[in-house]
Amino acid sequence: MDLTGIVTPDRPLLVLAVKEEAQFLDHFLDLGLPVLLTGMGKVNAASSLATVLGRGPLPSLVINLGTAGALRPGWSGTHEVGTVLQHDLDTEMLRGLTGETYGAPLTLSPGGPVLATGDVFVSDEAARDRLAARADLVDMEGYALASVASQAGVPIRLVKHVSDDAGDGAARNWRESVADCARALAAWATSHLAGDR
pLDDT in tens, 123-134: 778 888 888 999
Segment 24-75, tens digit of pLDDT: 998 888 888 899 999 999 999 999 999 999 999 999 999 999 999 999 888 9
Comparison of pLDDT for 87 and 22, the residue scoring more = 22
Confidence of residue 2 (pLDDT cuts 50, 70, 90): confident
Average pLDDT of the segment spanning 96-125 = 82
Q: Is residue 12 within 8 Å of residue 193, measured between CB atoms?
A: yes
Distance in Å from the first CA to the final CA of the chain = 23
Domains of the chain: 2-196 (3.40.50.1580)
Calculate the alpha carbon distances from 55 to 17, 59, 135 in Å.
Answer: 20, 11, 34
Confidence of residue 187 (pLDDT cuts 50, 70, 90): very high
pLDDT at 163 over 80: yes
